[in-house]
């Protein structure tokens, strides 16, 4: 194998690894919420409140629950009496575009 072929193989390997790392970053950045779950239990919204702690609003049938989630522990924070309106999530393309535009400013 000559140097030109070896360089091409390494360049292709770097591109493939870059795509994998970039995809993992995007999934982590957007919370892994690229697909919606049509079942009776849905995550409506979530926010990080620490390095490993989150507050999550879930829809369980007709009821909404506000949960605190930490490693090894899930705790009910509040059971709202009136439903909390959550805006529909933006399409992935819009989220990606706004994230890229935010980085340019």
Q: Which tokens sit at 73? A: 């522990």
CA distance 105 to 103: 6
Q: How distant, in Å, are the alpha carbons of 22, 28, 30, 76, 96 from that of 25?
A: 5, 5, 9, 30, 12
CA torsion through residues 35, 39, 45, 51, sign? negative
CA distance 49 to 30: 15
- 63, 60, 93: which is closest to 80 by C-alpha? 63
Q: How distant, in Å, are the alpha carbons of 37, 47, 69, 71 from that of 41?
A: 8, 18, 16, 20
Domains of the chain, by residue range, sit at 37-88
Summarize pLDDT for 49-100 with one digit per residue, the tens: 989 999 999 988 888 999 999 999 999 998 888 878 877 766 777 777 777 7
Considering the entire predicted model, what is its pTM?
0.51
pLDDT at residue 10 above 80? yes
Q: Are 41 and 60 in contact (CB under 8 A)?
A: yes
């Amino acid at each position: 194998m000559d140097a030109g072929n070896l360089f091409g193989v390494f360049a292709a390997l770097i591109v493939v690894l870059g795509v994998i790392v970039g995809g993992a970053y995007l999934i982590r950045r957007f919370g892994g919420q690229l697909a919606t779950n049509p079942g009776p239990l849905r995550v409506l919204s979530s926010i990080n409140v620490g390095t490993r702690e989150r507050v999550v609003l879930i829809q369980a049938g007709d009821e909404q629950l506000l949960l605190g989630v930490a490693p090894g522990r899930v705790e009910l924070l509040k059971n709202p009496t009136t439903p909390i309106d959550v805006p529909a999530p933006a399409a992935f393309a819009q989220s990606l575009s706004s994230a890229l535009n935010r980085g340019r400013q």
